Structure 1
Amino acid sequence: MITQSALEMRDALAEGGSLIGLDTGTKTIGVALCDREWRFATAGTTIRRTKFAADKAQIRAIVAERGVKGIVIGLPLNMDGSESPRSQGARAMARNLEDLGLPILLWDERWTTQAAERAMIEQDFSRAKRAERIDSHAAALILQGAIDALAGSAF
């Protein structure tokens, strides 16, 4: 199941469980994870993209290791809410991960990278550390927004 509705995702995850958040780009995939109660999203790793089969294998390994019950993928939208050219890439990622058998939520990711960078600057991350971790921190912001909605605080 692929959806853009937090309500549909919540129905599919009636028993809760850990989620993985993905910020997909052309060169990297930022990964974040949340607790089973959908309270806190934390930045995880950054996957350097190669062939999709290898990327998927890494995602599958994280899903298995952490007992993930659902996937949240950042959906890049234009400022007016319309889909951007990059939206197709996020949708393709969702379709390609669908065979993992987990519900997938496409979540608006507008401004997450900028917000992550601002937060990292405020925490005095060096440029090198920011470049290394920006995607996983953006994934954490995407996932936090989604779990806030799933938990009912953003309805």
Structure 2
Amino acid sequence: MTRAVGVDLGSVRIGVAVAPADTAVAVPYEVLERSGERAQDHEALAGMVAEVGAEVVVVGLPTSLDGTEGPAAAAVRTEADEIAAVLDVPVVLHDERYTTVSAERMLAEQGVRGPARRKVIDKVAAAVILQSWLDARD
């Protein structure tokens, strides 16, 4: 098993999830509030990647329902390249269609609402992205 970090790049927050090397289960890890300086955000993310000893970083790619890529996907591709430049591990992109919807549904089923949901939705979405990537590898 590969120790992996999943990333959900948002405009306000970056959701981070981890999958320990001894399991194929993604776990919500952290929510990084955007600082306004992308380089600073990327360094903070690099610190998390190093902290968990990740061997790969999986970034969610927001594609349209029909699979095409629009402006949001282009922006994520650009930022993923910037992140890759500060990491010593590979950065891969993974289709994130439906991840926020899935994360919202899971939190609703657990009774997490309002402000509590906003605090965790990004890292839960990152876990959904990472779990989807892990499942696709099997």
What SS class does the counterpart of residue 65 from structure 2 fall into?
Answer: coil
TM-score by length of 2: 0.93
Aligned to 2:115: 128
Task: Report the equivalent of 1:34.
Answer: 19
Alignment partner, residue 94 of structure 1: 80
> What's the offset of the Cα at 1:93?
1.7
Report the aligned-residue RMSD: 1.1
Cα distance, 1:76 vs structure 2: 0.2
Q: Check conservation: 1:38, 1:148, Cα contact below 8 A.
A: no
Pair 1:145 & 2:132 matched: yes
% identical aligned pairs: 36
Supply the distance in 2 between the matched residues of 1:92 and 1:33 (Cα, whole angstroms).
22
Return the alpha-carbon distance in structure 1 between the equivalents of residues 80 and 58 of structure 2.
9
> 1:56 is matched by which residue type in structure 2?
H
2:101 pairs with 1:118: no
Residue 12 of structure 1 corresponds to none
Amino acid in structure 2 at the alignment position of 1:104: V
Please state whether the residue corresponding to 2:94 is helix, strand or coil. Answer: strand
Q: Flag structure 2 segments of 5+ consecutive residues without an equivalent.
A: none
After superposing the two structures, state which structure 1 stretch, 44-53 or 133-142, moved more.
44-53
Residue 58 of structure 1 is matched in structure 2 by: 44
Per the TM alignment, residue 38 of structure 1 is displaced from its structure 2 partner at its CA by 5.0
Instruction: Kindly indicate whether residue 59 of structure 2 is the aligned counterpart of residue 73 of structure 1.
Output: yes
The TM-score with structure 1 as length reference comes to: 0.84
Distance verdict in 2 for CA 1:38–1:146, change over 3 Å: farther
Shift of 1:89: 1.8
In structure 2, C-alpha distance between the alignment counterparts of 1:64 and 1:105, rounded to whole Å: 17
For residue 71 of structure 2, the aligned residue among 78, 82, 85 is 85
Unaligned runs of 5+ in 1: 1-15
Runs of 4 or more, structure 1, over 2 Å off, are none
Q: Structure 2: how far apart are the matches of 1:77 and 1:123?
A: 27
CA contact (8 A) 1:18 1:69 kept: yes
